[in-house]
């Protein structure tokens, strides 16, 4: 798992990356950092109100470097390439030094504790000086967060949104490392709905072609009864087939509530009993294999 301070700084890095012009959540979005004043609007906590055009260019360069680094990790390029890129960024921003942070007064030991104060201090790596322009501190903290993530063996948590037409950077801070989509543009829901509609369209296609006049053989005999179909092993009737496919599509609807899902499953079970031993059961089992008998 990512340490809380790393997760927070990496999320801030994605905020910066995702201000660039490009596909965001299914639509094109222009650059959100097009003026020096926009820096303080996007990052009010970074004290960039007095930013100049030079500051804006500095942040743009940082954004480009982080975007490239994120893309390399997400694409699975050779570790040596990522290493060289990250080392170059770290070296350009100053030396790395160890900083000891004294614990808060409430957590310090009492007068009888002989442990030296320095031994109780928390330590962390810091890139460059803690003073200087706000933009410099901004750059150093974000780059160092990526470097610490690499040291922790967690670089694989830097991802790019899997949604269609979305290039947002993502930090996967989940325990099971399963996050695929950004939180900004509802990409997960868009993708699930699209997949559901594609499955539904693919499921209806065979029915529509099977019921065309050209596909039905010419005959003057009356349609066989359900009992005759059971004995002859004929293919599923179009009416039952449509009903099965309709229920299957309903069952795969990602927006289906638990209550409605139970109703659909109940209908499937009832239909299975009615069609027991007929050719229609094969289609039902294929389209709803997860419905328990």
Convert the pLDDT of each residue in 155-187 to its tens digit: 999 999 999 889 999 999 999 999 999 987 789
Distance of CA 284 to the CA centre of its chain: 33
For residue 114, tell me if it sits in a domain: no
What residues pair up with 101 in beta bridges, in sequence order? 122
CA distance 15 to 208: 48
Asked if the model's pLDDT at residue 237 lies above 70, the reply is no
| 155-158 contacts, C-beta under 8 A, 24 or more apart | 155/73, 155/82, 156/73, 157/2, 157/10, 158/10, 158/69, 158/70, 158/73, 158/74
H runs (alpha helix) in the chain: 4-17, 36-42, 53-75, 79-93, 117-120, 134-151, 187-210, 226-232, 238-251, 258-274, 280-287
Do residues 47 and 75 both lie within one domain? Answer: yes
- Decide: 145 and 16 in contact? Cβ < 8 Å: no
Do residues 169 and 90 both lie within one domain? Answer: yes
Do residues 79 and 130 both lie within one domain? Answer: yes
Do residues 207 and 274 both lie within one domain? Answer: yes
Average pLDDT, the chain: 78
Domain's final residue, options 169, 185, 201: 185
Residue 224's pLDDT is 41
Indicate the number of domains in the chain: 2
For residue 108, tell me if it sits in a domain: no
For residue 257, tell me if it sits in a domain: yes
For residue 113, tell me if it sits in a domain: no
For residue 149, tell me if it sits in a domain: yes
Do residues 171 and 246 both lie within one domain? Answer: no
Do residues 250 and 164 both lie within one domain? Answer: no
Do residues 38 and 75 both lie within one domain? Answer: yes
Asked if the model's pLDDT at residue 263 lies above 60, the reply is yes
CA distance 110 to 19: 49
Do residues 202 and 282 both lie within one domain? Answer: yes
Residue 206: which pLDDT band, with cuts at 50, 70 and 90? Answer: very low
For residue 218, tell me if it sits in a domain: no
CA distance 178 to 213: 48
Do residues 168 and 93 both lie within one domain? Answer: yes
Do residues 146 and 237 both lie within one domain? Answer: no
Q: pLDDT tens digits for 15-50?
A: 999 999 999 988 999 999 999 999 999 999 999 999
Give me the torsion for CA of 40, 93, 170, 25, rounded to 10°. Answer: 50
For residue 12, tell me if it sits in a domain: yes
For residue 110, tell me if it sits in a domain: no
Asked if the model's pLDDT at residue 10 lies above 90, the reply is yes
Q: What CATH number is associated with residue 59?
A: 1.10.3300.10
Q: Which of 63-67, 77-81, 143-147 holds the top average pLDDT? A: 63-67
Do residues 139 and 47 both lie within one domain? Answer: yes
The torsion angles phi and psi of 190, rounded to 5 degrees, stand at -60, -45
CA distance 193 to 203: 15
Q: Which tokens belong to 58? A: 């500095």
CA distance 2 to 13: 15
Domain extent for 251: 189-212+232-287
Do residues 144 and 92 both lie within one domain? Answer: yes
């Amino acid at each position: 798992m990512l340490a809380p301070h790393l997760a927070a700084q990496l999320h801030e890095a994605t905020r910066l990356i995702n201000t660039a012009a490009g596909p965001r959540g299914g639509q094109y979005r222009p650059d959100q950092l097009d003026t020096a004043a926009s820096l303080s609007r996007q990052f009010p906590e970074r004290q960039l109100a007095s930013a100049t055009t030079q500051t804006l260019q500095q942040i743009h360069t940082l954004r480009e470097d982080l975007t490239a680094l994120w893309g390399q990790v997400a694409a699975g390029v050779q570790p040596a390439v990522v290493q060289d890129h990250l080392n170059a960024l770290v070296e350009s921003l100053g030396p790395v030094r160890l900083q000891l942070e004294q614990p808060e007064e409430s957590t310090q030991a009492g007068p009888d504790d002989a442990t030296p104060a320095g031994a109780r201090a928390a330590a962390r790596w810091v890139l460059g000086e803690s003073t200087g322009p706000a933009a410099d501190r901004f750059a150093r903290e974000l780059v160092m967060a990526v470097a610490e993530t690499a040291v922790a063996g967690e670089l694989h948590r830097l991802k790019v949104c899997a949604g269609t037409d979305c290039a947002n950077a993502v930090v996967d801070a989940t325990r099971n490392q399963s996050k695929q989509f950004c939180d900004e543009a509802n990409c997960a829901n868009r993708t699930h709905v699209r997949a559901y509609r594609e499955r539904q369209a693919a499921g209806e296609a065979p029915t529509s072609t099977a019921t065309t006049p050209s596909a039905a053989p010419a005959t003057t005999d009356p349609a066989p009864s359900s009992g005759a179909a059971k004995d002859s092993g004929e293919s599923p009737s179009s009416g039952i087939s449509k009903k099965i496919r309709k229920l299957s599509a309903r069952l795969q609807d990602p927006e289906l509530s638990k209550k409605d899902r139970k109703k659909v499953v109940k209908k499937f079970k009832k239909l299975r009993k009615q069609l027991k031993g007929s050719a229609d059961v094969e289609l039902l089992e294929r389209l709803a294999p997860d419905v328990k008998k």
